[in-house]
Amino acid sequence: MTSSQKNNYLKQSAVVASVVLAIMLSLLKFFAFLKTDSLAVFSSFVDSITDLFASLITFIAIYFSNKPANFSHRYGYGKVEALSALLQAAFVGVSGLFVVIDGIKRLISPIALEQTALGIFIMIFSIFATLLLVSYQTFVANKTNSLAIKADRAHYTIDFLTNSAVVISLLFVHFLGFVYFDIIAALFISVYLLYNAYQLALEAIAMITDKELSSEIRKNVEEIALKSKGVHGLHDFRTRSLGDTYYFEMHLEIDGNLSLFKAHKIADEVEHKILAIYPHSQVLIHQDPFGLKEERLDHQIDGSCKID
């Protein structure tokens, strides 16, 4: 099994596990809400529904993103993961607003909670189940660098936090009879949901709009290229991410008196060094004679003087 196939298997197993858990927790939390009438439990149930929706989107995204490049999509389908993350962000944001509205209504007209002990038991079970899933998703995300899995993990990380907040809320209500704490916890959860939706949307939009990779990655690649034998300079260096694949494009400045074969060999050595550090990447290198005066992308970006 190749490295790419292993990554695909890991992503598929992680998303299947998340779908199964989301279904199970949604059913349990809905049952707990019916028995307790707790808004905090309900907000956590809504969160689990968003997790299920998100996981289903992730499942579809992983399926399409794993499809190989073809004549109509020569870069592949990696950006499907970004689209899935953007949809998840929108759904989470709407869900958070829904809980805020219900919380405000209950602040005006509080509702007595019942059978809080049952709710506590179900929520504690949810905490441990979610923690196991998040741990596995973290392992997969670190191995594959998949944005779809990272987005899905973000949902379940929030689920872990919200479940913990709900348990604290129910304990306060159960032992102290403080009903308003349930509403406060629900509002806190919803605000966190909205913040998470904002973060997911930013990351997804960054990929869709081909935002440059981090300055650390750019610096690493530049150092690899410039320290390679035969390379006198580098310009028009561009990077982007498509799913779990990095794309690097650059112009290497090489001695113009070298044969095409030797210049190509220098570029190949640079490419191999980059792939050794970022193995799931694609590298496109154009060879330019060193000292050539020409209009460049760098000039357009930094506003420097154009070539006469």
Q: Which range, 115-129, 204-218, 250-264, has the best average confidence (pLDDT)?
A: 250-264
- Taking CA atoms, 275 is separated from 254, 282, 284, in Å, by 20, 8, 11
C-beta neighbour count of 99 within 10 angstroms: 24
- One domain for residues 54 and 178: yes
171-199: per-residue pLDDT in tens? 776 666 666 666 676 677 778 778 878 88
287's enclosing H/E stretch is strand 281-289
Q: Domain for residue 308, yes or no?
A: no
User: Would you state the pLDDT for residue 60?
Assistant: 83
Would the pLDDT of 49 be above 90? Answer: no
Would the pLDDT of 250 be above 90? Answer: yes
Cα distance between residue 161 and residue 79, in whole Å: 29
- What does the pLDDT average to over 43-63? 78
- One domain for residues 167 and 119: yes
CATH number of the domain encompassing residue 181: 1.20.1510.10
Under the banding of pLDDT at 50, 70 and 90, the label for residue 216 is: very high
253-285: per-residue pLDDT in tens? 999 999 999 999 999 999 999 999 988 789 999
- Taking CA atoms, 33 is separated from 37, 62, 179, 275, in Å, by 5, 33, 15, 51
For residue 131 the two structure tokens come to 């923690």
- One domain for residues 167 and 99: yes
Q: Write out the residue range of the structural domain in which residue 37 sits.
A: 3-208
For residue 268 the two structure tokens come to 């190949």
Q: Domain for residue 294, yes or no?
A: yes
- What does the pLDDT average to over 85-95? 77
Share of the chain above pLDDT 90, in %: 22
Instruction: Say how many domains are in the chain.
Output: 2
- One domain for residues 11 and 150: yes
- One domain for residues 61 and 31: yes
125-162: per-residue pLDDT in tens? 888 888 899 899 889 888 877 777 877 787 777 777 76
Of the three residues 208, 240, 256, the one that is the final residue of a domain is: 208
Would the pLDDT of 242 be above 90? Answer: no
- One domain for residues 99 and 46: yes
User: Would you state the pLDDT for residue 222?
Assistant: 95
Q: Domain for residue 169, yes or no?
A: yes
pLDDT, mean over the chain: 80
The string of DSSP letters for 132-197 reads HHHHHHHHHHHHH--HHHHHHHHHHHHHHHHHHHHHHHHHHHHHH--HHHHHHHHHHHHHHHHHHH
In the sheet that holds 245-254, the strands lie side by side as: 231-242, 245-254, 281-289
Cα distance between residue 3 and residue 9, in whole Å: 10
- What does the pLDDT average to over 293-307? 71
User: Would you state the pLDDT for residue 308?
Assistant: 47
